[in-house]
A and B are shown apart, each in its own frame.
Chain A
Amino acid sequence: MVPSPTVSGSLRNRLVLALIGGAAVLAILLFFTVRSYAAKVAQQGQDNILVASVASILDAAALREGALEVDIPYAAFSMLSTPSDDRVFYAVFQDGAFMSGYDDLQLSDGPEEEQWTFHTGEVRGERIRQVSARRTLVGLGKQTEIAVALGQTQDALSDTLDQISRNAAYLGLGFFLLTAALSFWVASTTFGQLNRLTMSVTRRGPQDLSPFKKPVPKEMAPLVLSLNSLMGRLDQSLSQSEDFIAEAAHRVRTPLATVRSYAETTLHRVERKENREALRAMVRAIDESSRAAGQLLDHAMITFRADHLEREEIDLVDLTRELVQRLTPIAEMRELSLSLTGEPSVPYSGDPILIQNAVRNMIDNALKYAPADSTVEIDVDTTPGIQITVSDSGPGFPPDEIDMLTRRFERGQNATGTIGSGLGLTIAQDVATAHGGSLVLTNQQKGGACVILSL
């Protein structure tokens, strides 16, 4: 198994948190901005009405025969009517002396140059907004100053502000929720690209080292580029080593054949018993080496063919029967018989050379371990899936090693004394994988190994 990488933090979480945090800050900022702006506008509105009212009262003041007359217009107070029925307080002063209205109202003094003085204070236990203004009246030989203070409670204003605050809060919350949902969406689509790349890497076959050609977002291009270059180098070094092995095997096999024929010839010539024994052992060793070299070549060939799988319509039964016929002499040499059972015809689309190679390795393997005078059974069937089963009545696979036996050069512990390279089952497995199938190793209940090639 591949060890899982060390994980520290999550880009997705970081992105979502950053977006949501930003949205929250913006939403709060929005709320306070709208609220303070609305408060300013609402206060301005009240001030404007108060100013208009005071202006109309000042305007209604006149000096008649030396006496001050203030004929407060009906509209002056009428315009102060609010939905919350705010209370109204006013006072009229002449030259600083109280004349009429509410005597607990004070004139507020503002800067000299300003005509209107605004002031927020408390009258009779209520918070009021107050406007004060003055006007100088000139009569016959007399000059007098009239001042008006007008205050209004702020119930309607605070109602309006409450409403605006509520709406601003809803706005902020809505903005936040929308942005949060959006950030989740953005994060998932962004990492969806990464997931898709991961998926396509995972889904690749074990031999597929071709570069990725599907379009990816700009930010992921360097990753894909370096991934492609890594796989290119890997592919190159893999094929180099495969080439090297094939070349080496090929180079070794020919001299081995020569050495074997010399050894055979010499065996016929020598008389002494111990020399003959030594020569026989030499021939056996040479056989084993040449067989290993052959399998290495086979393996290299299979790796190449599996990468460029060419399927053609074949009949698995014909293919197996031909193989069985070819192997029968070898079996008879070991006093074994081969029996072919199953369907009369199983059409399949695959690489005949590869499948033949795999089945031959499976039968070879069975022949090596089957006891004398037994039968190796070969079965070609279509249920549950298309599969070729080779079973013998030998010792079977060691149960604790059954999972490792398909690895390269891995041989069972009971294989000591048997000729073999440890590549046979690996080849069968590679062929099965190349065809999208699998190789299953089991032991039969009645004893003996059973290898199933599912296609």
Chain B
Amino acid sequence: MRYLIALILILFPLVGAADDWEDRLIFNEGAKGAHLRVISSTDTVLFAPLIESFVAQYPSISIEYLVSGTADINRRVRATPEAFDVVISSAMDLQLKLANDGFALPVEDVQVPSWAQWHHSLFAFTFEPATIVINRAAFEGQPIPQTRQGLIEALRKRPEEFRGKIGTYDVRQSGLGYLFATQDARASETYWRLMEVIGGLDVRLYCCSGEMINDLADGTIYVAYNVLGSYAEVRTEGKDALEVIFPSDFQTIMMRTAMISEVTQAPEAAEQFIRFLVSQNPATPEGHSPLPFLRSDTDMTERETIGLNPALLTFLDGLKRQKFLSAWENAVIQ
């Protein structure tokens, strides 16, 4: 199964993508029923099993899965909302603003906790913490830091070894990176100190979690800050070299959200897809699922995650964003 997807992933760019998508894949091609265009920030390798089980359940629906960055998704949906039926993104703030601005179609009676949905139009379906991923080799004989403060100390202790070997999101490009950064900054001053430290060590800036983990794996960098736990778990599987740290001082937990475009061509199929997404159980019968789905039956609470409420609009305000980015640039790009 995974090999098949890998094969498709390798072959697909050769077939030729009309648009400059990170990835573009059609499932159940040639089905007679509705054609769903899903734009998503989630890598195909993580999402494909889910879509396959969806089309197995609804064989008449075909799905075109388009992958792009969170900021790009936001731009594209605002520019041509009619070109997409379902929008999935990890940037909760951008998604909430889309919904608030009227780009989402409300769906009634979707079985999610009230804190995992907004205005009946934006639905959270995963639970993904931001993590620190390190290359064990760089910490040989040293204690592995468990907190941000611990990381600061480790970096300060051996600055020359880590120079140019630290990676994090370029918050100017990545919507998710910006969301993590703003939430970190809200949670603790430690964030700014850490940014200053890694800024002083010539931090490498990335657009996406995937690239960061690739560079970690091949030793280009030793430490990646604010990498998505779900990606890290998949990539570190079978690689003892990498370790995923869930910082114990405070965790920033993102929920992947989905919504239906207000001008969708296939509202019924899109609604079925949304209901299918939120009904996923973390323990799928086929075994381990790469995406950590929300569980409504556990004691998982709203408190742990980034709140899905209008406060997310705050850092998207033009003036506020300008101020935040200039502070970030001051700290990171020295």
Contact = CB atoms under 8 A, between A and B. Distances in A.
B320 A70 contact: yes
A75 interface: yes
Given A72-B320, A88-B100, A80 B310 contact: yes
Interface string A121-132: 000110000000
Interface in A61-87: 69-78, 80-81, 83-87
A78 B307 contact: yes
Nearest to A76: B314
A114 B319 CA distance: 27
Contacts of B102: 87, 124-125
A100 B317 contact: yes
B10 interface: no
Interface stretch (B114-122, B160-168, B217-225, B286-294): B114-122
B323 A77 contact: no
B301 to A, nearest CB: 16
Contacts of B317: 70, 72, 92, 100-101
A81 B120 contact: no
Interface in B82-132: 100-102, 114, 117-120
Interface in B303-322: 307, 309-315, 317-320
Nearest to B99: A87
Contacts of A101: 317-318
Most chain B Cβ neighbours within 10 Å, of A69, A75, A85: A85
A99 interface: yes
Given A69-B323, A124-B102, A88 B310 contact: yes
A81 B320 contact: no
B60 to A, nearest CB: 33
Contacts of A90: 313
B320 A88 contact: no
A81 B314 contact: no
A17 B114 CA distance: 49
Given A69-B319, A81-B309, A87-B119, A74 B314 contact: yes
A69 B102 CA distance: 28
B314 A85 contact: no
Contacts of A70: 317, 319-320
A72 B114 CA distance: 26
A84 B186 CA distance: 26
Nearest to B182: A74
Interface in A96-148: 99-102, 124-125
Contact of B118 (A71, A72, A75, A85): A85
A80 B310 CA distance: 7
B100 A87 contact: yes
Contacts of B310: 77-78, 80-81, 86-88
Contacts of B307: 78, 81
Interface in A34-61: none
B119 A81 contact: no
On chain B, which size bracket covers the interface? Answer: 20 to 34
Contacts of A72: 314, 317, 319-320
A216 to B, nearest CB: 66
B99 to A, nearest CB: 8
A100 B97 CA distance: 14
B97 to A, nearest CB: 10
A308 B82 CA distance: 108
Contacts of B114: 83
Contacts of B320: 70-72, 100
Nearest to B324: A71
B122 to A, nearest CB: 9
Contact of B319 (A73, A84, A89, A92): A92
A426 B102 CA distance: 102
A392 to B, nearest CB: 97
A77 B314 contact: yes
A72 B309 CA distance: 15
* Chain A CB within 10 A, most for which of B100, B102, B117: B100
A234 to B, nearest CB: 81
Interface in A353-369: none
A92 B314 CA distance: 13
Contacts of A102: 101
Contact of B120 (A71, A80, A85, A89): A85
Q: Which of B114, B309, B310 has the most CB of A within 10 A?
A: B310
Given A74-B311, A78-B307, A124-B102, A99 B119 contact: no
Contact of B311 (A81, A85, A87): A81
A96 B40 CA distance: 39
B109 to A, nearest CB: 15
Nearest to A89: B100
Interface string B184-205: 0010000000000000000000
Q: Which of A73, A87, A92, A125 has the most CB of B within 10 A?
A: A87
A76 B315 CA distance: 11
B28 to A, nearest CB: 33
Contacts of B314: 72-74, 76-78
16 contacts: A69-B319, A71-B323, A74-B186, A77-B312, A77-B313, A78-B309, A81-B307, A81-B309, A81-B310, A85-B119, A85-B309, A86-B310, A87-B310, A88-B100, A88-B310, A100-B317
Given A73-B314, A78-B310, A102-B101, 5 more contacts: A77-B312, A81-B311, A83-B114, A92-B317, A124-B101
Q: Which 7 A-B pairs have the closest CB atoms?
A: A78-B311, A100-B318, A85-B119, A81-B309, A77-B310, A88-B310, A77-B311
